[in-house]
Structure 1
Amino acid sequence: MNKRTVLRLCACAFALAATASAPLAFAQTYPQKSIRLIVPWPAGGATDSVGRSVAEALRVQLGQPVIVDNIAGAGGNIGTQQFVRQPHDGYTLLLATSSTNSANPYLYKRTGFDPIKDFAPVASLAVIPSVMVVAAGSPYKTPADIVNAAKARPGTLSFGSGGVGNSAHLAGELFKSVAGIDVIHVPYKGSSPALTDVMAGQLDYMLDTGAYGQVKGGKIRAIAVASERRHPMLPGVPTFEELGIKGMHMNAWYGLAAPAGTPPAVVERLNAAVQTAFKSGDLSKRLSDIGAEVRPGDAASFAAFWKSELERYAGLVKLTGASLD
């Protein structure tokens, strides 16, 4: 082997070593600038509250600004479509939700993204059970009252949601299916205006994840929780199961995601920041205050949960018959 060949082989070896070490070096210096967190829903409501809580926690842990960017539309698809086109460098993150990342692939013929291949799961954050709420002065005291009224006057009662395909919509459709009633779905551009109309009596009820604060404040009344056990924030409110209504289990899940191809070391750095924020107690308190049950965990466990929820929502959407195309 001549000297020129040896030098060429050495150069190739150095290049390969540099290429292999580049992601690690990048992760060790990450982040060096502000991070953008896309929340694919409007400002206000539970999803935005979760996003802003996580953004603040990451700011503290990473030492860089984390800017929330609300990009709403098409049930979260528009913001998510923009997200998957971003560079996979850890500087654009997504607040992934059960609506956008579990339900929409079955509700829409085209979402503009692959629910698995286009994402790098970073960390699970929380789940919030849906709670059935009515106006403070509503005549409906239990879900059975709503069922009886709906059967007496088919097609006249109405329920609201924060948009077609979101958790409140699917929860409402599930209740229609389980109860065998004919009621009208009224979609809004976000949960906040829908809840406002529940308070005013313009809507008969809503199954929402962002209503806990209004319930505690006495602005609306909770009559059932769609979970396996009573919610610690509303200990006096029974579950649907306790009231004899089977199959009403519905919650919204939230997690942090990066674009597919993000270096694993960056994903680990972000996950560590989330876990440290949970352990410090501040993030847990912020989420608990809005009715969330925190779900800390590593990226691998979140990826497994994400996949299982896709499978669960396939059955849920089929059961409700919901479709947006």
Structure 2
Amino acid sequence: MKLKSFLVILFSVVSISSYAAYPDKSIKFLVPWPPGGATDQVARILVQPLTKELGVSVFVENKGGAGGNIGTQAFVQDKPDGYSILMATSSTNAAGPHLFSNQGFDVIKDFTPVVLVCTIPNIMVIPASSPWNSMKDLVNDAKQNPGKFTYGSAGIGASQHLAGAQFKTVTGLDVRHVPYKGSGPAALDLMAGHIDMMLDTGSLNNIKAGKLKALGVAADKRIPELPNVPSMKEAGVPMVANAWYGVMLPAGAPKDVTEKLNAAFNKVLNDPEVRKSLQSIGAQIDGGSVAEFTKFSQSEVKRYEGIVKMSGAPKE
């Protein structure tokens, strides 16, 4: 047997034996945002059924800051062995390159896409104590008081920031942006009345609990979870703004590990209880193949160039 052929066979055997047992230890599910926001909520819905499906512990680790960039920068340095997975979002992995001069990672070259999990529309929410009861109330008051009111976000480049900037562009209103280190902290300040409004993907439970009022859903139609809340277009503000959530590995992840994770996530996403939990936070469930998510995530980088430009959000 020629040496080259022998080495190819040997390498194949070593590769198969290295990953055949995957996974054989706990898996870190990195959320590059603080606890409480939509990204964190989605990840935490998935970890228990994933633990059951994969037979090893899957745990969430939050590493927030800089619009999701700090945690993501750390993630791309991890070994691409399947024991560190990322809850990627349209904020960091599609809009980010058009909002930051230097994110610290390349959204195409530094990742191995695994699966698209879901999409969630932004909802215009205000404090329960707010005197506004409709989008018309908000818009009229803001027109009469330019610069007085504020909207919160999970940080520069987050879906709430882009949606808020888009809202300003569509309405021509002068409302001030207040960035936080995650949508969880922003929602807490919103409920306390420290900011006036937020277009958010993670507030459905607070709406149902009566802690926030919903004035409009930034989707092309009403959502089943809030049948009495109009779409933004119905409410007089024609805009659609949502966020997607998907799983990625660092660049160079083995194909068999990627495919095994894809199969596990798809099985979990088809579980009735998981679907019910995701739908309870307003999620439209996706799933699909590695190839489909790869094509989608790459196309979203280009699409968000236009979204960021239309929103009027400045580049940092």
Which of 253, 260, 264 matches 1:262?
A: 253
Deviation at 1:288, TM superposition (A): 1.6
Distance 1:23 1:308 in 2: 32
Distance 2:231 2:242 in 1: 13
Q: How does 1:211-230 map to 2 (within 5 A)?
A: 211-230=203-222
Does structure 2 retain, via aligned residues, the 8 Å contact 1:77–1:111? yes
Q: How does 1:5-84 map to 2 (within 5 A)?
A: 9=2, 11-84=3-76
Deviation at 1:159, TM superposition (A): 0.9
Tell me which stretches of 4 or more aligned residues in structure 1 moved more than 6 Å: none
**Could you say which residue in structure 2 is the equivalent of 1:316?**
307
Q: Match of 1:230, as an amino acid?
A: R
**Could you say which residue in structure 2 is the equivalent of 1:142?**
134
Unaligned runs of 5+ in 2: none
After superposition, what is the alpha-carbon deviation per residue over 1:226-262, rounded to whole angstroms, capped at 9, x for unaligned? 001111110111101222322x111111000011111
Aligned partner of residue 182 in structure 1, secondary structure? coil
- Answer with 85-94 or 286-295: which moved more: 286-295
Is 1:157 matched up with 2:145?
no
Q: Match of 1:284, as an amino acid?
A: R
Percent identity reads 48
Q: Match of 2:284, as an amino acid?
A: E
**Could you say which residue in structure 2 is the equivalent of 1:295?**
286
Tell me which structure has the larger Cα radius of gyration.
1
**Could you say which residue in structure 2 is the equivalent of 1:307?**
298
Does structure 1 retain, via aligned residues, the 8 Å contact 2:66–2:181? no
Unaligned runs of 5+ in 1: 1-6
Does structure 2 retain, via aligned residues, the 8 Å contact 1:53–1:283? yes
Distance 2:141 2:14 in 1: 65
Does structure 2 retain, via aligned residues, the 8 Å contact 1:162–1:190? yes
Which of 179, 189, 202 matches 1:187?
A: 179
After superposition, what is the alpha-carbon deviation per residue over 1:40-63, rounded to whole angstroms, capped at 9, x for unaligned? 001122111112222223211111
Q: Match of 1:282, as an amino acid?
A: E
Is 1:115 matched up with 2:107?
yes
Aligned partner of residue 229 in structure 1, secondary structure? coil
Which of 62, 78, 84 matches 1:86?
A: 78
Does structure 2 retain, via aligned residues, the 8 Å contact 1:171–1:250? yes
Q: State the Cα RMSD in Å.
A: 1.5
Q: Match of 1:310, as an amino acid?
A: V
Aligned partner of residue 29 in structure 1, secondary structure? coil
Does structure 1 retain, via aligned residues, the 8 Å contact 2:65–2:182? no
Is 1:244 matched up with 2:236?
yes
After superposition, what is the alpha-carbon deviation per residue over 1:99-141, rounded to whole angstroms, capped at 9, x for unaligned? 1111111110001111111111001101110000112232222
Which of 117, 123, 132 matches 1:131?
A: 123
**Could you say which residue in structure 2 is the equivalent of 1:104?**
96
Q: Match of 1:263, as an amino acid?
A: P
Distance 1:224 1:306 in 2: 27
Aligned partner of residue 124 in structure 2, secondary structure? strand
Does structure 2 retain, via aligned residues, the 8 Å contact 1:57–1:274? no
Does structure 2 retain, via aligned residues, the 8 Å contact 1:108–1:323? no
Deviation at 1:73, TM superposition (A): 1.1
Distance 1:173 1:50 in 2: 25
Which of 264, 280, 292 matches 1:273?
A: 264
Q: Match of 1:191, as an amino acid?
A: S
Does structure 1 retain, via aligned residues, the 8 Å contact 2:67–2:181? no
Deviation at 1:324, TM superposition (A): 4.7
Distance 1:23 1:321 in 2: 48
Deviation at 1:177, TM superposition (A): 0.5
- Answer with 200-209 or 214-223: which moved more: 200-209
TM-score when scaled to structure 1? 0.93
Does structure 1 retain, via aligned residues, the 8 Å contact 2:163–2:311? no
